[in-house]
Each structure stands twice: as C-alpha cells, then as structure tokens.
Amino acid sequence: MRKDKIIMIVGSLILLLLFVFPLWKITLLAPQYPEPLGLNIHITHLSDGNQFNDVNNIDLLNHYIGMAHLPTKINVDKGEVEPFKEFVIIPIVVIALTVLGVIFGFIGNRKLYATWLVLLIISGIIGLYDFYNWLYIYGHKLNPNAILQIKDKVTGEMMAYQPPVFGFKQMLNFEVYSYPSTSVYFIAVSFMLVCLAFYMNLKMKTKK
Amino acid sequence: MKSIFAFLTVAVFLVSCNPAPTSSKSSKGALTGNAAEKVYVAPGEYDEYYAFISGGFSGQLAVYGLPSGRLFRVIPVFSQDPEKGYGYNEETKPMLNTSHGFVPWGDSHHPDISQTNGELDGRWIFINENNTPRIARISLETFETEEIIEIPNSAGNHSSSFVTENSEYVVAGTRFGVPIPQRDMPISDYKGNFKASLSFLKINPESGNMNIAFQIRMPGFDYDLSHPGRGKSHGWFFFTTYNTEEAHSLLEVNASQNDKDFIAAVNWKKIEEYVAAGKGHKEASNYAHNTWDDDTHTATSVMEKEVWVVNPEDVPGAIYFLPTPKSPHGCDVDPTGEYIIGNGKLAAAMTVHSFTKMQKAIEDKAFDGEAYGIPILKFDAVNYGTLEQPGLGPLHTEFDTRGNAYTTFFISSEVVKWNVKDLKVIDRHPVYYSVGHLMIPGGNSKKPFDKYLVAMNKITKDRYLPTGPEVCQSAQLFDISGDKMELLLDFPTIGEPHYAAGCPASLIMDNSKKIYKLEENTHPDAVKSEAETRVVRKGNEVHIYMSMIRSHFSPDNIEGVKVGDKVFFHITNLEQDYDVPHGFAMIGANTAEMLIMPGRTATSIWEPKEVGVWPFYCTDFCSALHQEMQGYIRVSAKGASTPIKYTIDDDIPGMEE
C-alpha cells in the first residue's frame, strides 16, 4: 500500500484515542487546596484530575457561589442536572471523522485529505466555541440565593466566575488554570500526519 | 517527519504550561551552628522524624515531630477520649472492653514499631497497658487503634510490648506476681505460690492481628522490661526481673536485698517447636480481644476462652537465668545482637552480657544452681564486662551505629554515652530532671537512625512556667551525630512521657490515609447520600440516619421524639475530601461529642429528658458556613401523638422540588 494512504489511515485512527484521554484540564489551587483540585474534561464525561473525588469536591465548592451543578454521575442520577449533549454529539463526530478518514485513506486522493483537514478544523473551532459557551453559562448563570454574593468593586455588578478557556484566572480564593490535555495533542498529531499524507501524495504526483 | 518533531516540541511546551503542584519543601543542606537552627522547622516544612511518645498514665500515645518537638496528634488507645468520641460512641466502646467489663482508663507504656528483617517497617505500632494487662496495635496508615487484646494470667503488663525481628511475636509479661489462676489465699503465702506469665502473641503478617500463641508460666518474680534478640541472637527474648526475693510487702526494701536478680533468656524459637510438638497444655481462660474494622467503622469485642500454657519443665533447654545486679530495669540488646545490657537500677555499674558467651555457657552447662527448675548460668560465664561507676540508677540504654550506647541515669539525672566494646565512658550530659527512658529512632532494631536522642524526664520543677502543683513532664532532644552529645531542645509532653519509638518520616508519611471511601463503608447504619437519610421509630427507640456535608446536616429538623425515648444518631460524614471532618454535639447528651472523619459513620445515644425544641450542631470548624451547620429536634411529652417528621429545607430529604 502507498505510504501516504497508510499515514492518512493511521492519522485518522489516532482520533480514537480521544475516547481514552481527556481533552482539557482545569486546575484549581487555593490556600486550603495546596494539592490542587483538577477537573478533566473528556469527550464523554468529566473525571478527577488530580485526586480521588476531585469532580465531586469541585461541584461541592461551587454551591457556595451558586454555580450550577456539574453533570457528575451522582448529580445526573439524582436528576439535579442533564448530562451535556456534547457527551453524545462529540463522540459521533469523532467516529464519523475517523471512518471518513479511513475511507479517504483507502481512496488515496489528496483532495479528500484536504477536505478531511478542513472538516477537522471546523469541528475543532465549533468545539472550542461550545466549550467557551459552557464556561460562560457556568460562570454567569448563578443561583440568586447563592451563599456567597460578592459584587465587583469596580462595576458594582455581581461577580461572574467564568473560568478561562486557555490560561490563568484568579477567582476569589482560587487560582484557576485551564489548558489543553492529552487528547488535544493527539488531535494535533492526527492533523500533522494527514498534512504529511497530503504532502507525500502531492510529491508523488509531481514526480510522475 | 520533521513536522512531527516540530509538533512534539510544541506539545512539550504546552504540557509545561500545566501548573505543577506548589511545593514549599526545600533542602537545607548541612546544618551547622546553634541549637535553635538545628530544631527550627520553618512554617510549612516537615519534620525529619516521627516520635511516638507514650502518655504513661494518660493511657494514650502522642505523635510528635523531630527535631521540632511539635505535637501533631494524640492517638486514643487505652483511655476514653471525649474530644474524639473514642470510648464514648457506640462503635468504639467495645475497644475498651475487658474481662472486668468496660475499663475507661489505662496506663500506656512502651510503644514499639513493627519490623521486617530487623529494620523498622512502619506498618504498625504496638503499645502495652500496665494496669489491666493489654496490648494494643495501632495502624500507622490511619493513626488509630485497630486492636486491643487482654493478657490473662498476668498483672502489671510491664515487660511489653516489644516485637521480634520480623514481627513474628509481640510479648507481654507480668510485673506483679499473682496467684494463677486467681484464687482466695493469704498474701503472705506469696513466695513459691504466686506466679507470672510471659506471653508470646503471634502477629499475622498480613493483617497485623494478634493472638496469644503461648504463655510461659514463670516463677513469681517481677518481670520489668524486655527486648528481642536480633541478628545472631534472633530467636531469643530477654526479660529483666526484680523482686527475685519474692517479697509481698514493702518491696522498696524487701525486693532490694539480693545482690543479683536475673535476666530471663527465653528461646522462643525452641518453645515454638515444643508447642508445635504438643508440649504444654490448654487452659480455660477468659480475656477480651477487641478488633476495629475500617470498613464497618465498628469495633467488636470477643471473649477468648482458652490459652496455651507452657511450664519451664515442658521446654528443657529453652529458658535460662542470667544473674544481673541489682534489680535491673532496662534490658537492651545492641544492633548486632551480641550484647545484652542489664541496667541495674540500684547498681553503680552497667552489666554487659555476651550472647556468644551465653551460648557457650549453655553448651558447657556452666550452671550456678537453678531457680524453680530454670538453670542459672554462671555470672562470669555469660558476662562480657562491666562499666564501673558510670552514674547512679541506670534505667535504659539505646544504641547508635558506631558501637556506642546511651544510658539514662535516673538518680544522677544524666545521659551517659559509652562504648560497648571498650566499656569506656565517652561523654555525659545532665538532663532536667530524673530521666526515665530514652529513644533513638530505630533504637530497638539493627538499624538505628542515630542523629537524635530523646530523653524523657519525670520531673521538670523550674524548667517551664509554673502551672500550680501539677507541672508538665518533658522530653529533651539531643544531637548525637558528633562525639559530644548536644542538648538542642526541651519540650513538654502529654501525661507521663514514659517510653518512645521513632522512625524517619519518609517511612510513614506517604502511606497516611486521607479519607475513608464512602463506597467501601459497610457500616449497617451508614447512609451513602442525603436521599437515604431518614428517621425510624422502633418502640421507644428513635433511629436517626443522618448525613453531614459542608455545611448542613440532613435531616436538620426532626419532630416526633418524646421524653423517655432513646435516640440513636447514626451519622455519616459524606465528605470525600481530605481534612474535612465534621463534629456532632447534642445539648444535654450524657456522652461526648463525636468527630467523624470523611466517609465514616458513628453513633451517639441521647435520652431526652425535657419537652422542648433542642439544638444540635457541628463542633469542628469545617467551612465558612460552619456556624450555620446546626439543626433542631422537637421533643414532645411522653405519650404525645406528635408523628415522626424529618425535613431539610422543609422537604423530606431526597424529595426536593
């Protein structure tokens, strides 16, 4: 089989690792939490980022500022919150992209490779926008009966608690860090490999 | 390929953006200079060693850090502890059960850390109780008492609770000879009729659980302290005795007459073989064996009904007496296992016996008569030498790795450093005052960590700010890394700092448990979520299955309780986060508060006596809303028709919205 075909197939199959490794990680440090709390965001669920029970512990702390419950197993079972629709949609997108990539690989057409790259980029941008949107909702849609109601000393408005998509933000006593996690790197690897497949295919054509 | 490498470089860069957990640990390098610097552990830094110092008459075991001398925790062992609810709540009460019923107090003496291959392994710490003879085992994962076993046919379990080189056995003894079995007889008939038991408790290598493998029925001397052989002398155990006169009154005079008392050398390996071959006999007995279960969070007490007894004549060649001047207290074996040191507390000399000579003397039958059928070895045939006039009133010796011994002298109030082989004093240092035992971490093992020495003093007089007639007892920390001992620090202790064990922090700290997992909680009255919380009436008993989590109880409003009811609070701490215990106290309860660790269930009983609305609250400052963590119970008159009702935020728990 042609090398570019193999690389195209491998490149798209790598996306399946998204089912194994987390996509993003939010880390929370506070005086009372010298060993930081961690929230891993997977394409199918949330998981403990650093220690046992981190997700539930973050959810418990969130109630002080009136933040909505996270879709943890306990909360979903209790009916407190609906699980994110994204936990269903994103896996479908990932599988679709993988299957498409494999098919494109077998066909071995560089236009299809390019199409796949465009689809991956579009999915990525939509995904990031959706992530931002959720962070905005969690940060702003607060329970009016929240225990801690703190007003911004400049604007006089109720404080919002929107975690950053990328980077650092101080939120009350917590230092919040948000960075891509393992799966994002696999997406990048996948992207690079498909680019490589495209490039090899292009070279092959020009040689002829 | 290039692009892959380029990507990987970017990936590594991105990964490094994730914040590393902040750590304030930094190594200080070699410490030189004054004592203050040597004991200074900067805020947020850790001590280098754990020191487990018994509380003596407090009945507990205290955990300190060295070199700072800071107190971290008092582990309740043999005494009730209202602060934690130990011995007050329903789950822990069975821990203090004995053949005499519930005993709320004990006298804790000699902690010793479990060993593997002669070195500390940091799994458990054992400690003996003198008054109602018992041995406790404490987990060094949870720092809680996991097991207490009563020692039958004994009184004053003093020569205890030291462990053998591979934690095969932990031993118990008898300080007060008694009629065995107990019976009604004249005290003056002591001599020849009162007996003593030396008990060997087998330790289960997996669970740590103890059971009495055999008891040796010994003459009625007072067995004072003991230490295991190690290395070449592994398989032997050595016990000091006093009152070989078998006096029954005014012992301070009458038990101090003999020129020499004995060290009893017990070949437990040989006795093990004899017992396996059926030597000895089973005796009916009655003693409590209490075990704690970390899954049910509950102790159970079982009365054991028999014990295997071995008389010295059953086990020829397994027990010998080594004559040792004068009422020896400490019985210490050096790290090589060769030297056995008798600290003759009324002598002005230290007696050093040689294990090699002892074996030869046994082979040569170099006997100097016998006592109650036990051969007495000739003093000269076993004695390596004597350290003449090192001080007054030697009590206890520990060792470093350089062939030196450190002995406390009670009467002359000093610690003396001397070389065991040369029998020469190297250094001496006063202590303040009347030192009892001393501790070098790993001192009872073949690998002492000989940087620090802790001396434990009975009297402090003018050393601290006075606090009325009763002043603190204290520990003193020495640096023993150089030729001269250097006094670094005084620190007061809980109770009487009777004896101690220590080990490097690194051996224990990483195994320290943080929470109990709720999913592993099999307490029959546990609740796993607020939806399971409820109140159930069974006759005049009201069972409240309650939960606690930051920062509320569920339910927190309870009605339908009546005067004359017996109310059981079965409370589960639903937290699964480190260092978030909650407390519980009920007004008018005739018991203590309860401190409940994350994931644990505990039960407290309250018998309301007056009609009214009575509050309960969280006693441990758990969170910013701790002060709001409270609730009410409505108590109606006896015979009232108020129905059971329980709510949180005016809803039945689990039925909100």
pLDDT tens, position by position, A121-163? 999 999 999 999 999 999 999 999 998 888 888 888 888 999 9
Residue (of B181, B188, B177) closest to B244 by Cα position:
B177
Q: Looking at the predicted structure, is the pLDDT value of residue B111 above 90?
A: yes
Q: What is the mean pLDDT of residues B233-247?
A: 97
Whether the ω angle into residue B111 lies within 30 degrees of 0, i.e. cis, is: no
Asked if residue A105 is part of any domain, the answer here is yes
Taking only the tens place, the pLDDT of each residue in B329-357 is 999 999 999 999 999 988 878 999 999 99
With CB atoms and an 8 Å threshold, state whether B517 touches A52.
Answer: yes
Residues of chain B above pLDDT 70, percent: 95
Asked if A78 lies within 8 A of B19 by C-beta distance, the reply is no
**A131: burial class by Cβ within 10 Å (0-12, 13-18, 19+)?**
middle
Least Cα distance to B340 among B357, B354, B319 occurs for B354
Contact status of A190 with chain B (Cβ, < 8 Å): no
Alpha carbons B118 and B231: distance in angstroms, whole number: 7
How far apart, in whole angstroms, are the C-alpha atoms of residue B153 and residue B605?
Answer: 35
Q: Which helix (H) or strand (E) holds B344?
A: strand B339-344
- pLDDT at position B22, please? 41
Q: Concatenate the DSSP letters of all residues of B140-151 into one string.
A: TTTTEEEEEEE-
Contact indicator for B572, B548 with CB cutoff of 8 Å: yes
B657: closest chain A residue by CA: A80
Region B536-560: mean pLDDT is 97
> Can you tell me whether residue A132 is helix, strand or coil?
helix
Does residue B237 register a pLDDT over 80?
A: yes
Give pLDDT, residue B93.
98
Does A7 map to a domain? yes
Say how many domains are in chain A. 1
User: Hey, what are B135's tokens?
Assistant: 């041995």
Among A63, A179, A186, A191, the strongest candidate for a mutation testing the B interface, having the largest count of B CBs within 10 A, is: A179
A82 lies in a domain?
yes
The pLDDT assigned to A77 comes to 87
pLDDT, position B55 = 97
Q: Is A19 or B259 the better-scoring residue by pLDDT?
A: A19
| Mean pLDDT, range A47-73, rounded to an integer | 95
pLDDT at position B129 over 90 = yes
C-alpha separations of B581 from A3, B529, B591 in Å: 61, 17, 19
Residues B80-87 have a mean pLDDT of 97
- Helix spans in chain A (H): 3-13, 54-62, 73-78, 86-107, 110-140, 182-207
Q: Residue B386: its pLDDT value, please?
A: 95
Contact B19 A196 (CB under 8 A): no
Q: From the list B3, B14, B625, which residue is nearest A179 (CB)?
A: B14
Would you state the pLDDT for residue A207? 66
pLDDT of residue B33: 59
Provide the 3-class DSSP secondary structure of residue B200: strand
Residue A31 at interface with chain B, using a CB cutoff of 8 Å: no
Query: Within an 8 Å CB–CB cutoff, is residue A174 touching chain B?
Result: no
Q: What is the pLDDT of residues B563-583, one digit of tens each?
A: 999 999 999 999 999 999 999
CA B413 from centroid of its chain's CA atoms = 26
Q: Assess if residue A165 is contained within a domain.
A: yes
What integer is the mean pLDDT of B153-171? 98
Q: Is residue B557 classed as helix, strand or coil in its secondary structure? A: strand
- Contact residues, chain A, for B15 at CB < 8 Å: 185
Per residue in B432-456, pLDDT (tens digit) is 999 999 999 999 999 999 999 999 9
Cβ–Cβ below 8 Å for B625 and A78 = no
Band (A208; pLDDT cuts 50, 70, 90): low
DSSP 8-state symbol, B107: -
**Contact A35/B21, CB-based, under 8 Å?**
yes
Q: What is the pLDDT of residue B16?
A: 43
Q: What whole-number distance in Å separates Cα of residue B265 and Cα of residue B174?
A: 15
Check CB contact under 8 Å for A180 and B577: no
- Residue B531's closest chain A neighbor by CA? A78
Q: Is A30 on the interface with B (CB under 8 A)?
A: no
Residues from chain B that touch A34, judged by Cβ atoms under 8 A, are 21-22
Q: CB B4 to CB A189 under 8 A?
A: yes
Is there a contact between B190 and B220 (Cβ–Cβ < 8 Å)? yes
Q: In this model, does residue B2 exceed pLDDT 90?
A: no
Please tell me if residue A73 touches chain B, with a CB cutoff of 8 Å: no
> Looking at per-residue confidence, does B356 or B255 come out higher?
B356
What integer is the mean pLDDT of A161-173?
94
Chain B residue numbers with beta carbons less than 8 Å from the beta carbon of A186 are: none
Task: Say whether pLDDT at A171 is over 60.
Answer: yes
Whether residue A106 lies inside any domain: the answer is yes
User: What local confidence, expressed as pLDDT, does residue A85 receive?
Assistant: 95
User: Residue B81 forms beta bridges with which residues?
Assistant: B86
**End-to-end alpha-carbon separation of chain B, Å?**
59
Under 8 Å between Cβ of B490 and B463: yes
Each residue's pLDDT tens digit, A43-53 = 999 999 999 99
pLDDT of residue A74: 87
Domain presence at residue A208: no
> Using the beta-carbon criterion (under 8 Å), do A60 and B19 form an inter-chain contact?
no
Give the residue on B whose Cα is nearest the Cα of A11: B4
Chain B residue numbers with beta carbons less than 8 Å from the beta carbon of A60 are: 549-550, 577
| Cα atoms found within 13 Å of the Cα of residue B69, Cβ hemisphere only | 22
Decide if A56 and B529 are in contact by the 8 Å CB cutoff.
Answer: no
Q: Which amino acid appears at position B538 of this protein? A: K
A-B Cβ pairs (cutoff 8 Å, strict)? 55
Domain that holds residue A157: 3-203
A57, A189, A193: residue with CB nearest B577 = A57
Residue B25 has pLDDT above 50, yes or no: no
Strand boundaries in B576-611, DSSP class E: 582-586, 594-596, 601-606
| Of residues A50, A147, A177, nearest to B625 (C-beta) | A147
Q: Compute the distance between CA of residue B299 and CA of residue B286 in angstroms, rounded to an integer.
A: 19
A88 touches chain B (CB under 8 A): no
Find the mean pLDDT for residues B515-528.
97
Within a domain: A192 = yes
Confidence (pLDDT) at B527: 98
For chain B, the average pLDDT equals 94
Measure CA of the first residue to CA of the last residue in chain A; give whole Å.
Answer: 18
Chain A residues with beta carbon closer than 8 angstroms to that of B4: 189, 192-193, 196
Task: Please report residues of A whose CB lies closer than 8 A to that of B549.
Answer: 60
CA distance B399 to chain A (A): 39
Q: What is the pLDDT of residues A4-39, one digit of tens each?
A: 999 999 999 999 999 999 999 999 999 999 999 999
Please indicate whether, in this complex, the C-beta atoms of B3 and A147 are within 8 angstroms of each other.
Answer: no
- Which chain B residues have a beta carbon less than 8 Å from that of A202? none
Q: Which domains does chain B have, with CATH numbers?
A: 56-390 (2.130.10.10), 518-647 (2.60.40.420)
Q: How confident is the model at residue B656, as a pLDDT?
A: 58
Token pair 């052989």: residue: B229
Name the strands in the sheet holding B319-324, side by side, starting at the edge strand that comes first in the sequence: B222-228, B236-242, B261-267, B319-324, B374-377, B367-371
